[in-house]
Chains A and B, each alone.
Chain A
Amino acid sequence: GNSVTQMEGPVTLSEEAFLTINCTYTATGYPSLFWYVQYPGEGLQLLLKATKADDKGSNKGFEATYRKETTSFHLEKGSVQVSDSAVYFCALQGDSSYKLIFGSGTRLLVRP
């Protein structure tokens, strides 16, 4: 069945460092891919998404490219801020499906 694997955290970075959080998936067909973020004390928020191969999703300085050849959707940001500290979830939605299938989440801690 469909599944998502993302790197374990926590990831601890200094402010202005480069961020990569790895995400790979297993799915049949052509899923849509998502990154959700959960800030402390808040609900899950959609950060970005990509619906087909080679699409790049971007938002708030974060980017992720849908790579079908490597079944990956890695999250990147060139310069992180303390306010980016949160838990990041990679997720997929299968062809013509509504269920979101999530990875286990990666906690990011950015130190001043």
Chain B
Amino acid sequence: GAGVSQTPSNKVTEKGKYVELRCDPISGHTALYWYRQSLGQGPEFLIYFQGTGAADDSGLPNDRFFAVRPEGSVSTLKIQRTERGDSAVYLCASGLADSTDTQYFGPGTRLTVL
């Protein structure tokens, strides 16, 4: 079946611009996660959704970052006033209702802020 998909695969933007990154989880998965992977590092947790609500957003680095999941399926990560330090690969993962189940990762969106 279809895995987690993320669009766009690459995004280049200028400092100060607004960007949106989209994640389509595996059908039927109620848990959804966003991670950020900087060059040469492992992914770092940003936010976790269970259904429509953000159960934990403690990993969001500051208030320029925001994520939504209005219908409990697709999620959008929004970054305002982008900075060069936001450049990274943004990964989305989804899982079954039990939050300790395996997380299935998408291919990621590579964000470059010039």
- Name A's B-contacting residues (CB within 8 A): 4, 32, 36, 42-46, 49, 89, 91, 93, 96-105
Give a binary string over B60-98; 1 marks a CB under 8 Å from any A CB, 0 the rest: 000000000000000000000000000000010101000
Does B99 belong to the interface (CB within 8 Å)? yes
Given contacts A104-B40, A104-B42, contact A98 B100 (CB under 8 A): yes
> A102 near B40 (CB under 8 angstroms)?
no
Does B20 belong to the interface (CB within 8 Å)? no
A46 CA to B35 CA, complexed, in Å: 15
Given contacts A93-B100, A98-B33, A102-B43, contact A44 B105 (CB under 8 A): yes
Q: For the A-B complex with A4-B42, A43-B3, A104-B42 known, give 15 more contacts whose Cβ atoms are closer than 8 Å.
A: A32-B100, A42-B107, A43-B106, A45-B105, A46-B103, A46-B104, A89-B42, A89-B43, A91-B42, A98-B31, A98-B55, A99-B45, A100-B35, A100-B45, A105-B41
Does B56 belong to the interface (CB within 8 Å)? yes
10 closest residue pairs by CB, A with B? A102-B42, A98-B99, A44-B105, A43-B107, A99-B45, A43-B105, A104-B42, A102-B43, A89-B42, A103-B42
Give the interface size bracket for B toward A. 20 to 34
Q: Which residues of B contact A104 (CB under 8 A)?
A: 40-42
A103 CA to B100 CA, complexed, in Å: 19
Q: Which residues of A contact B105 (CB under 8 A)?
A: 36, 43-45
A101 CA to B44 CA, complexed, in Å: 7
A103 CA to B44 CA, complexed, in Å: 10
Given contacts A42-B107, A43-B91, A44-B91, contact A49 B102 (CB under 8 A): yes
A43 CA to B100 CA, complexed, in Å: 20
Q: Which residues of A contact B41 (CB under 8 A)?
A: 104-105
Which B-chain residue is minimally distant from A100 (CB atoms)?
B103
> A97 near B100 (CB under 8 angstroms)?
yes
CB contact list, B24-46 vs A, under 8 A: 31, 33, 35, 40-45
